[in-house]
Chain A
Amino acid sequence: MNIRAQVSMVFHLDKCIGCHTCSVSCKNIWTDRQGAEYMWWNNVETKPGTGYPVRWEDQEKYKGGWEKKPGNGQLQLKMNGRLGMLGNIFFNPHLPSLDDYYEPWTYEYENLINAPAGDDQPTARPISLVTGHPMEIKRGPNWDDDLSGSEVYAANDPNLDGMSDDERQLMFEVERLVFFYLPRICNHCLNAGCVAACPSGAIYKRGEDGIVLVNQDVCRGWRMCITGCPYKKVYYNWSTGKSEKCILCYPRLETGQAPACFHSCVGRIRYLGVLLYDADRLDEAVGVDDAALVRAQRAIIMDPHDPAVVASAKANGVPDAMIEAAQQSPVYRFVKEWELALPLHPEFRTLPMLFYVPPMLPLQAIANDGRLDVTQDSEEAADYFGTLEKARLPMRYMARLFSAGNEEEVAAVYRKLIAVRVYRRASTIAGEPDADTRKVLAAAGLTADEAQAIFELTAKPTFDERFVVPPLAREVAIESIMDPFTHKTKAGFGFRREAKRGQ
């Protein structure tokens, strides 16, 4: 056992309203500058949809993440497959192009104030932030927002690949039409493709918290990380010539604050906390067949109350405060204890440490002679909220996103989410669960106490319950460079050129 700590995340998609406040809070603080305009360390995608950059999930195109070598089954970066990318660092055909992202723009706003007197109203045309010339806007970072039912975008969601033409067509009919949101940041993976792909060794995982960073002093702009990351969450800054990515707001974490996108999440969908994992079993976790990937990843996340786990963590130098944080981690509860939160595309085999609770969506409708019946009449208690079979999106779609195709993993989550609602309805209206409710709970594998706990943490969490930020002991880190007592007196003065005397 080799226990390490990882600051991890849960996004509860049932609560996501797709507002993008998270994206803007990040943009304001981190990427609002030349070369970084197109970087959206945090973005929100509409699903079904093509995402950002366009069709990023299509690894036949982008060659991100890991694959098992034919033959020995050992893991290798997909980009290093037949082409052997490491030998071709000057030519990377799999990078997203400007067309896959977008050409950032602004407007001739000044024209509204400065236009000379004329015979018609002035307007502010769009201007490229790259060329400075007027431009046609053909793509943006959130181009297919709310665009369910688009034959251009939703229909080209790579996750629809496994569905029949009939099934696909249904998704654009009013009976089945639906969309939901998928907010994305860097997953701060345990087996990060970007780290592995960097020829310069500029990308690393921080030992204390697992945050993946691109060292801006070391990066040489090879951009292999951009291909290596199957989530396309590393971006090349065309102004500085270095790559940048989500830093999980470590300056905020280090001061006990949730990352900006978590803080600003007005749907209250986000949770942050420490997970303890067994680094000795990473190989095992990424080596299993697709269907077992979720279970395998869950298996290496260890019980922070288990004395053996605690002992190993301590032996690895994990501070007591970090272990205590892990014991209070809301992420642990969602991911491991309740098995409600699943990794996004585990088949990329990077062991992403951001987990998603899938969304409950409205029931399918039935067309009766042109009139829509939305009720799907049934007497089952659970049918008050609908059932899995009548969901607007096929389980297969959700499984493509969150369980490498294993539909039972997703179905098990939905059974629990519905059971919690049935349980709470019974508790609040009738006072206590009746026989039907107990049946629903049992079928979902939940006790009443568990259902209550899930409800509490989903519906009523306070700020401090959602974000359990571990103390990151900055004084200890600083001490290895400089006495914190001295640091206190010098911090913030920045670099100062030494006076050159006697020359």
Chain B
Amino acid sequence: MGWVKDLVSPQARRWEELYRNRWQHDKVVRSTHGVNCTGGCSWNVYVKDGIVTWEMQATDYPLLDATLPPYEPRGCQRGISFSWYIYSPIRVKYPYARGVLIDLWRAARAEHADPVDAWASIMADPEQRRQYQRARGKGGLRRISWDEALEIVTASTLHTIKQYGPDRVIGFSPIPAMSMLSYASGSRFLQLLGGVVMSFYDWYCDLPPASPEVWGEQTDVAESADWYNSKYIAVMGSNVAMTRTPDAHFLSEARTDGSKVVVFSPDFSQTSKHADWWVPVNAGQDGAFWMAANHVILKEFHADRPTPYFMDYVKRYTDSPFLVVLEPDGDSYKPGRMLRASQLAQYQDEENAETKYLVFDAASGAIRLPQGTIGFRWQKQKGQWNLDLKDGQDGSEIDPALTLLTDHDAVLPVAFQDFAFDRTFTRGVPVRTVETTAGSLPVATIYDLLMAQFGVGRGLEGDYPADYDDEDSPYTPAWQERFTGIDRQTVIRFAREWSATAEQTQGQCSIIIGAGVNHWYHNNLLYRAAISGLMLTGCVGRNGGGLNHYVGQEKLAPMSVWLPVAMALDWVKPPRLQNSPSFHYVHSDQWRYEGNFAALAPVGDAGHPLTQGHTMDIQRQAVRSGWLPFFPQFNRSSLELVREAEAAGASTPDAIKQWIVEQLRSGALRFAVDDPDAPENWPRTWFIWRGNALQASAKGHEYFLKHYLGTHTNAIAEDVSGEEPAPEGKLDLVVDINFRMDTSALYSDIVLPTATWYEKDDLNSTDLHSYIHPLQEVVPPCWESRSDWDIFKAIAGKVSELAAEHFPVPVRDIVAAPLQHDTPAEIAQPDVRDWAAGECEPIPGKTMPDFVVVERDYTNLRNRYISLGPGVRDGGIGVHGIQWSVADLYDELAEDRPAVHWNGARYPSLEDAKEAANAILYLAPETNGESAYRAFKAEEVKVGLPLADLAEGTRGVRYTFEDLGRQPRRLLTSPAWSGILNDGRAYSAYCLNVERLVPWRTLTGRQHFYLDHEGYIAFGEHLPTYKPKIDPHAHGDILRTKAVEGSIMLNYLTPHGKWQIHSTYSDNLRMRTLSRGVEPFWMNVEDAAAVGIEDNDWVEIFNDHGVMVTRAIVTARIPRGLCFVYHATERTLSVPRSPLRGDRRAGGHNSLTRTRLKPNLMLGGYGQFTYAFNYWGPTGVNRDTFVLVRKLEGEPRW
């Protein structure tokens, strides 16, 4: 030896000082990243010489139960790259405006003393308007002053309000949870204004409609530590190792603790590496696998050997024992509506008898009325809305029969549909005959219908499969093979292991699920197939169990207080909240490019009025029936309408409302959705902040460019459904608030520089852990940037200033509000009736939207913005239909904390974001123990069972923003959420329901297998079922596009990526360096070889919607027939021109998509199918898209 010597001498090692000096720093401040990500990671940010140099994860999360691995560190490759942005050349440092517009503005301003008049003069000249619209996205940005920027923005806003009404001012910002005050700034401003706040969760297609369908809940999932409690984990459509980076360790740690991990993924994903079994199920066919697994579960663990735990669970916690009326249908029967109390003489006089449902009591052999159904929720007498198995009429114990197999009057042939092959199977179902007020009717339990639907015969007659190997009979293990590509043995073994584990552990099997399943057209069916497997084995509402849906799901913990702040409910209600999928489908004219929806997917009853026509027909019906919101509301200004009503003698709100109804009935007034392309119905001024609304989330991006912006588009699709030519350039002004020059900024008219996440105070929470922690101002906002809170405060100030001229006194406005979930409107429409067709009277809030007269005080807009208004004090706070008082806490805030005074009153101050944070923390049940206690007390009244004991022990807790700065704090147990967090227990959804018998917020109060809605039955989605994937030709992506030589057609998938959070970080040099320098196009080796594409070749990807040019990655990891472009690209970075589209600049990943909405998700007005923001409505599905790809001709041209 002798080569390697140790060196000890410090003298000889003085140079080591070099690296020590680099490490030294001046300050460390806790903050995090307000990006649209569920990480919710607390970071320490390092400052040296006044400059942010780097960040490291904070590791001081309070420990949970000692049996669980700790939460540290949290923070991924993307988050740790953030410091690159702050001083980078892509940073927006100053306000910018399009030069063309600035020239027009300055000329107009020279002519007009008043800025609103100046703006009006430009808008009045179509040529001027088109001039700057056509320049959108094409360079020529010019630095302007904040003063000038604020004046233009405000002029456009006030002009829109005056000319068309405030509901033509719209705003979009993604999921609030990760920087909730930054979100609230813009939404608060807009709601005070009367503007429209647009949804995100459904638009991103991250909302799983199955969750409202089954649970009446937007989404509720376990925190990641609870994965560790699971002994069997099925991961499907979710790539946790890549997209839940800080949580993924719990999966591998659960594995070490003996959990089995099965990963369903068509590609060998990063998470497949952690699987015991990697199941390469064909893309979008997970539902078929689960339907067959459920067949095995029902056969072996329910029918052959009724597993006691499973039997007890489904009886108590699901709708299985409820009775469904069978309707004659030719030679057989079909499942109809649930049997209602109103149908039986014994129960018809019950309050809300139309919405109380019935079971067959095994003990008494009689039909009984269990408590906890929705009629009990909204009746006057409180305390019967619970899952205690008692009769609601006499309080006696009941034991609902799951099956009538051994105690039936008859076995009737019932028809079940096979949508894959357009067949019907007739299967025997045991029934009882019930004497109703309309004669005797056959009824079956939902449990028996499930058995029949899944093909478990139990000795009954009919078209039941012989065994597991019956390939033709849905839903056997053999049947699913042709769809999934997975052998029957895998299904059988999986179902057995799953059930055995669930039985042994009492429900500790879980599913981690996400976009890979949820982004398909039939996502609700795919989800319900899997959820059925959970419910049948008692795995919901248990620690270690449940459906853990992780895509875009974010949890804004202090929701009950944040909501009034964010939506300005402390001053005005209701807010104007829009479901974005409907909005963009309609306003960006994407509806025009498709025909009738029946071409896309089969329905159950093709003759039903709801299952025919164009999606726009259902959309319009949904608006007039109050199922969905739509803005603008009417084809006239909502301010003008109130004035007209008053002029016509309507002085009270009720009179005004009635005047509106009459106007609508007579046709003198129309809903804007009935004629969305008329100029008076266009959205006009659009605020975009915290997001990339024109690219990353813009499904149908090229249609946005055409119809919203009026600039160049690469779409070539044919307008097949409109009458007149579609308008181009609907929007007067697009304002983007941003810290980086992303695609949305590039295409906007005004770009305002915002503070980054290290330059402002804010709050952050997520559902992947149970802490709340802050963003903090590590350094002051750099250059001319300001925080979002301060930007909207400044705009509010400018509005107040200019309003002195244009709206000197408060004005009245009328807001159209759809029927709302968690309100009595849930029982408004047990049956579908269209007032416009004369099927019923137009009654606001019952058969149509409600109309509410509110006041807008524009001169005091800024004052209201910075003051927590009296609505919170007087109305209390609430969530999910419960309400509690915080008046004393409000008064404490106003007296002891920073306050503002105006018009002789004193209000808690929201002047800066930190004060707003402290106000929220002081009132919210998750951060104030007293508020939690009161919330449970309020819940006790409704439920009639003890609950407040859950909050006794933490009643004295009060968190402040300063506390959070010192250490993340764990949330308190609250009825706003369904998990129990006490004593370090990991959060798991629905534990409150299972353990404390609080009903789910559904029709039966239980989890639903059966969806009792006239429309659902018509669409054939009342029972869990399988519908085939959309045919590529029917989908219509490639109708006008020519399949040029050397191209291949592929199914185009856009899963979440490794090097970005949506588009953020995708332009960050760190992330681009660690990947391919572009956002590449992933394809299969053989597909690539077939068209002569090699790894790193430039390729052109195209369809009717647009074109993308990027480089290919070629690998066997991607299966044949599929391609990936990871979500989301910018079209700003390294994008060449497209030879196929006239050598124009190619687009991004959303240049290849177009929105299609699933019509049955627009139905509403009943039970869990009533509207709430980001809770109900169609979603922006995109996985059924097809593209062509070819090698780029020649060298890329820039």
Interface residues of A (CB under 8 A from B): 4, 14-15, 17-21, 23-25, 27-30, 75, 104-107, 109-110, 112-126, 134, 137-138, 140-143, 145-153, 172-174, 177-181, 189-192, 195-196, 204-208, 210, 213, 215-218, 247, 249-252, 254, 260, 263-268, 282-283, 359-363, 365-366, 368, 370-375, 377, 384-386, 420-430, 455, 458-463, 477-478, 480-481, 492, 494
Residue of B nearest to A247 (CB): B19
Known contacts A150-B1114, A252-B23, A458-B256; 10 additional CB pairs below 8 A are A14-B255, A17-B245, A24-B1070, A107-B1072, A112-B90, A142-B1073, A263-B57, A362-B277, A363-B278, A481-B14
Q: Please determine whether A120 and B1144 come into contact, CB atoms closer than 8 angstroms.
A: yes
Q: Chain B nearest CB: distance from A28 CB in Å?
A: 4
Interchain CB contact (< 8 A) of B80 among A21, A152, A282: A21
Interchain CB contact (< 8 A) of B5 among A152, A205, A424, A459: A205
Residues from chain A with a CB closer than 8 A to the CB of B1135 are: 121, 123
Q: Does B783 contact A (CB under 8 A)?
A: no
> In the bound complex, what is the Cα–Cα distance between A180 and B1133 (angstroms)?
30
Residue of B nearest to A217 (CB): B15
Residues from chain B with a CB closer than 8 A to the CB of A247 are: 19
> In the bound complex, what is the Cα–Cα distance between A247 and B19 (angstroms)?
9
- Contacts A370-B485, A371-B487 given; indicate if A137 touches B1074 (C-beta within 8 A): no
Residues from chain B with a CB closer than 8 A to the CB of A282 are: 1
Interchain CB contact (< 8 A) of A195 among B4, B273, B1070: B4
Listed A/B pairs (20) with beta-carbon separation below 8 Å: A17-B252, A28-B81, A109-B90, A109-B741, A123-B1134, A124-B1134, A125-B1134, A125-B1198, A146-B1058, A150-B1114, A192-B4, A251-B24, A268-B72, A268-B253, A362-B276, A373-B489, A374-B490, A386-B276, A424-B257, A458-B253
> In the bound complex, what is the Cα–Cα distance between A347 and B1025 (angstroms)?
58
Residue of B nearest to A37 (CB): B1073
Interchain CB contact (< 8 A) of B1134 among A107, A147, A366: A107
Q: Please determine whether A361 and B273 come into contact, CB atoms closer than 8 angstroms.
A: yes
- Contacts A14-B252, A117-B140, A251-B19 given; indicate if A371 touches B481 (C-beta within 8 A): yes
> In the bound complex, what is the Cα–Cα distance between A179 and B73 (angstroms)?
25
Q: Please determine whether A216 and B73 come into contact, CB atoms closer than 8 angstroms.
A: no
Q: Please determine whether A421 and B256 come into contact, CB atoms closer than 8 angstroms.
A: yes
Q: Chain A nearest CB: distance from B1084 CB in Å?
A: 9
> In the bound complex, what is the Cα–Cα distance between A366 and B77 (angstroms)?
36
Which residues B96-115 have CB closer than 8 A to chain A? 96, 99-100
- Contacts A4-B6, A492-B24 given; indicate if A17 touches B241 (C-beta within 8 A): yes
> In the bound complex, what is the Cα–Cα distance between A484 and B81 (angstroms)?
37
Residue of A nearest to B21 (CB): A494
Q: Chain A nearest CB: distance from B125 CB in Å?
A: 20
Q: Please determine whether B258 and A28 come into contact, CB atoms closer than 8 angstroms.
A: no
Q: Please determine whether B56 and A264 come into contact, CB atoms closer than 8 angstroms.
A: yes
- Contacts A148-B268, A266-B74 given; indicate if A118 touches B57 (C-beta within 8 A): no
Interface residues of B (CB under 8 A from A): 1, 3-16, 18-24, 53-57, 59, 68-70, 72-77, 80-81, 83, 88-90, 92, 96, 99-100, 135, 137-141, 228, 231, 241-242, 245-246, 248-249, 252-260, 263, 268, 270, 272-280, 481, 485-490, 493-494, 497, 501, 504-505, 712, 741, 746, 1058, 1067, 1069-1070, 1072-1078, 1085, 1094-1096, 1113-1119, 1131-1137, 1144-1145, 1198
Q: Please determine whether B1074 and A140 come into contact, CB atoms closer than 8 angstroms.
A: yes
Q: Please determine whether B268 and A179 come into contact, CB atoms closer than 8 angstroms.
A: yes
> In the bound complex, what is the Cα–Cα distance between A413 and B858 (angstroms)?
72
Q: Please determine whether B1116 and A150 come into contact, CB atoms closer than 8 angstroms.
A: yes
Q: Please determine whether B1114 and A460 come into contact, CB atoms closer than 8 angstroms.
A: no
Residues from chain B with a CB closer than 8 A to the CB of A112 are: 90, 741, 746, 1132
Interchain CB contact (< 8 A) of B260 among A368, A384, A463, A478: A384
Residues from chain B with a CB closer than 8 A to the CB of A264 are: 56-57, 73, 75, 80
Q: Please determine whether B1077 and A126 come into contact, CB atoms closer than 8 angstroms.
A: yes
Residues from chain A with a CB closer than 8 A to the CB of B257 are: 421, 424-425, 428, 455, 459
Residues from chain A with a CB closer than 8 A to the CB of B68 are: 460
Q: Please determine whether A180 and B7 come into contact, CB atoms closer than 8 angstroms.
A: no
Q: Chain B nearest CB: distance from A413 CB in Å?
A: 14
Q: Chain B nearest CB: distance from A146 CB in Å?
A: 6
Q: Please determine whether B1077 and A140 come into contact, CB atoms closer than 8 angstroms.
A: yes
> In the bound complex, what is the Cα–Cα distance between A140 and B1117 (angstroms)?
20
- Contacts A109-B90, A251-B20, A428-B257 given; indicate if A172 touches B1085 (C-beta within 8 A): yes
Q: Chain B nearest CB: distance from A105 CB in Å?
A: 7
A-B residue pairs, 4 tightest by C-beta: A117-B140, A149-B1116, A425-B258, A207-B8
Residue of A nearest to B1111 (CB): A137
Q: Please determine whether B1133 and A147 come into contact, CB atoms closer than 8 angstroms.
A: no
Q: Chain A nearest CB: distance from B1138 CB in Å?
A: 11
- Contacts A21-B80, A28-B53, A145-B1075 given; indicate if A120 touches B20 (C-beta within 8 A): no
A-B contact count (CB 8 A): 382
Q: Chain A nearest CB: distance from B864 CB in Å?
A: 35
Q: Please determine whether A207 and B245 come into contact, CB atoms closer than 8 angstroms.
A: no
Residues from chain A with a CB closer than 8 A to the CB of B1114 are: 150-152
> In the bound complex, what is the Cα–Cα distance between A462 and B260 (angstroms)?
24
Q: Please determine whether B489 and A375 come into contact, CB atoms closer than 8 angstroms.
A: yes
Interface centre among A179, A181, A210 (most CB of B within 10 A): A179
> In the bound complex, what is the Cα–Cα distance between A262 and B970 (angstroms)?
26
Interface centre among B68, B88, B501, B1117 (most CB of A within 10 A): B1117
> In the bound complex, what is the Cα–Cα distance between A207 and B56 (angstroms)?
29
Q: Please determine whether B260 and A385 come into contact, CB atoms closer than 8 angstroms.
A: yes
Interface centre among A190, A267, A375 (most CB of B within 10 A): A375
Residues from chain A with a CB closer than 8 A to the CB of B18 are: 216
Q: Please determine whether A372 and B501 come into contact, CB atoms closer than 8 angstroms.
A: no
> In the bound complex, what is the Cα–Cα distance between A230 and B180 (angstroms)?
50
> In the bound complex, what is the Cα–Cα distance between A23 and B1075 (angstroms)?
13
Residues from chain B with a CB closer than 8 A to the CB of A126 are: 1077, 1134
Residue of A nearest to B1118 (CB): A149
Residues from chain A with a CB closer than 8 A to the CB of B72 are: 268, 462-463
Q: Please determine whether B268 and A137 come into contact, CB atoms closer than 8 angstroms.
A: no
Q: Chain B nearest CB: distance from A165 CB in Å?
A: 16
Q: Please determine whether A113 and B92 come into contact, CB atoms closer than 8 angstroms.
A: yes
Q: Please determine whether A206 and B80 come into contact, CB atoms closer than 8 angstroms.
A: no
Residue of B nearest to A66 (CB): B3
Q: Please determine whether B741 and A20 come into contact, CB atoms closer than 8 angstroms.
A: no
Q: Please determine whether A123 and B7 come into contact, CB atoms closer than 8 angstroms.
A: no
Q: Chain A nearest CB: distance from B1066 CB in Å?
A: 12
Q: Chain A nearest CB: distance from B1071 CB in Å?
A: 9
Residues from chain A with a CB closer than 8 A to the CB of B494 are: 375
Interchain CB contact (< 8 A) of A420 among B228, B256, B497, B504: B256
Interchain CB contact (< 8 A) of B276 among A118, A250, A385, A429: A385
Residues from chain B with a CB closer than 8 A to the CB of A360 are: 255
Residue of B nearest to A252 (CB): B23
Residues from chain A with a CB closer than 8 A to the CB of B1094 are: 152
> In the bound complex, what is the Cα–Cα distance between A188 and B252 (angstroms)?
28
> In the bound complex, what is the Cα–Cα distance between A205 and B12 (angstroms)?
12
Q: Please determine whether B275 and A251 come into contact, CB atoms closer than 8 angstroms.
A: no
Q: Chain A nearest CB: distance from B1016 CB in Å?
A: 33
Residue of B nearest to A251 (CB): B23
> In the bound complex, what is the Cα–Cα distance between A327 and B470 (angstroms)?
63
> In the bound complex, what is the Cα–Cα distance between A174 and B281 (angstroms)?
11
Q: Chain A nearest CB: distance from B611 CB in Å?
A: 34
Residues from chain B with a CB closer than 8 A to the CB of A368 are: 487, 489
> In the bound complex, what is the Cα–Cα distance between A190 and B488 (angstroms)?
54
Q: Chain A nearest CB: distance from B1065 CB in Å?
A: 11
Q: Chain A nearest CB: distance from B869 CB in Å?
A: 39
Q: Please determine whether A424 and B505 come into contact, CB atoms closer than 8 angstroms.
A: no
- Contacts A113-B96, A385-B260 given; indicate if A250 touches B489 (C-beta within 8 A): no
Q: Please determine whether A120 and B505 come into contact, CB atoms closer than 8 angstroms.
A: no
Q: Please determine whether A15 and B249 come into contact, CB atoms closer than 8 angstroms.
A: yes
> In the bound complex, what is the Cα–Cα distance between A118 and B74 (angstroms)?
44
Q: Please determine whether A208 and B245 come into contact, CB atoms closer than 8 angstroms.
A: no
Q: Chain B nearest CB: distance from A269 CB in Å?
A: 8
> In the bound complex, what is the Cα–Cα distance between A427 and B259 (angstroms)?
11
Q: Please determine whether A266 and B268 come into contact, CB atoms closer than 8 angstroms.
A: no
